[in-house]
Amino acid sequence: MEANTILKDRKALITGASGGLGAAIAKELASQGCRLFLTGRDRQRLAVTANAVKTIAPSVHEHVADLANVASLEAMAVQVLETIGPIDLLVNCAGIFPVHPLEQCTMEEYDQCLAVNVRAPFYLIRKFAPLMAKRGWGRIVNIGSSSAYAGFRDTAIYCASKHALLGLSRSLSHELKGQRVRVYCLSPGSVQTEMGRHVPGQLFETFLRPDEVAHYLAFIIAFDAELISEEVRLNRMVVQ
């Protein structure tokens, strides 16, 4: 098992790279020697991540896409193939976190959340997993949440989306492992990112650090023996 070098020169697509956790994952995978294709919706924030990553590893491409928009999603996937070719790693990190009581939830918000948090990962897995299978090696990481395992008030849409993402991961993990493509659902509790600032009723300073989550992600996907931790929950030692 070559846990320290297995990620070197692997080609990785990371969604949500303009966000706090996605940026940390990009830096971690760059430090492991991966070649990166980063996507996000906000051009400026994506450029900040890309520039930071370029100081670690030179092979970084960036592409602005709205994952809730199927045409934009498809165009991004085409761009990946034209720019770096078939990928070895897919990290589905983009997500949105609506926080409202039921009576303030809208159907538009439901559709948007499910489109970003579940439909886009499904689309990207369907697009890229067969190419990984063809090459006999692949890693797909879906970023879940503690909300994939429990219900919390005022976040019904988000909880529904993360439960769905966990179901997708569980099913595809079984389906794809015979083809040497490993599917993981990595589910952190609250993380110190912009999204984490909207978590009600808890101390932000006690949340998980994005770099720590990213480091753990690299650790589990680099493990290449006949064992897989396909479902991982990451929690704080102390909750306040």
Active-site residue list: 158
Residues in 5-44 that interact with ligand NAP by CB under 6 A = 16, 18-22, 40-42
Residues in 71-100 that interact with ligand NAP by CB under 6 A = 93-97
- Are the C-beta atoms of residues 106 and 52 closer than 8 Å to each other? no
From candidates 114, 118, 190, 218, binder to ligand NAP by CB under 6 A: 190
- Are the C-beta atoms of residues 195 and 179 closer than 8 Å to each other? no
Q: How far is CA 197 from CA 48, 190, 192, 206, 212, in A?
A: 20, 9, 7, 12, 18
State the nearest-atom distance from the C-beta of 175 to ligand NAP, in Å: 22
Binding residue count for ligand NAP, defined by CB under 6 A: 30
In the complex with ligand NAP, which residue's Cβ is closer, 32 or 190?
A: 190
CA-wise closest residue to 122 among 90, 147, 150, 97: 90
* Contact call for residue 169 and ligand NAP (CB under 6 A): no
* Contact call for residue 145 and ligand NAP (CB under 6 A): yes
In the complex with ligand NAP, which residue's Cβ is closer, 6 or 117?
A: 117
* Contact call for residue 166 and ligand NAP (CB under 6 A): no
State the nearest-atom distance from the C-beta of 116 to ligand NAP, in Å: 5
State the nearest-atom distance from the C-beta of 82 to ligand NAP, in Å: 19
State the nearest-atom distance from the C-beta of 94 to ligand NAP, in Å: 4
Residues that bind ligand NAP (CB under 6 A): 16, 18-22, 40-42, 45, 65-68, 93-97, 116, 143, 145, 188, 190-191, 193-196, 199
